Amino acid sequence: MLRARLNYRRIINKLVVLLKQMSAIESLRSFRVWDIAVFDVVVSMWALGWLNERSGTKSFRAGVYAAIPLGIVVHYLFDVPTALNYRLGLSPPPQRP
């Protein structure tokens, strides 16, 4: 059986350098698919499920209608510029690398 040898020390050192260069939340939000942060989608879906469970509504549509304004407010409070908040006049345009 052929086993690939991984240099764990090198991988850990690269991760440490990456985490020192940016904050933890920025590093989590750096993984993107179609310019959408995967972390944001996961947290939004978790929050949506949590809100639906707490409110007693089982409608996905009602949860989405509640999640969009909640996302706008959270991004505004934490001063994270988004395209939607920019279009609403709440933040500067988002800077993407």
Dump pLDDT digits (tens) for 26-76.
777 777 776 667 887 788 778 777 777 777 777 777 777 777 788 889 889
> CB–CB of 90/76 below 8 Å?
yes
H or E segment and range at residue 36: strand 36-37
Q: Answer whether residue 1 is part of any domain.
A: no
Question: Into how many domains does the chain fold?
Answer: 1
Q: Answer whether residue 41 is part of any domain.
A: yes
Q: What is the mean pLDDT of residues 10-21?
A: 69
The domain containing residue 66 runs over which residues?
Answer: 8-87
Q: Answer whether residue 2 is part of any domain.
A: no
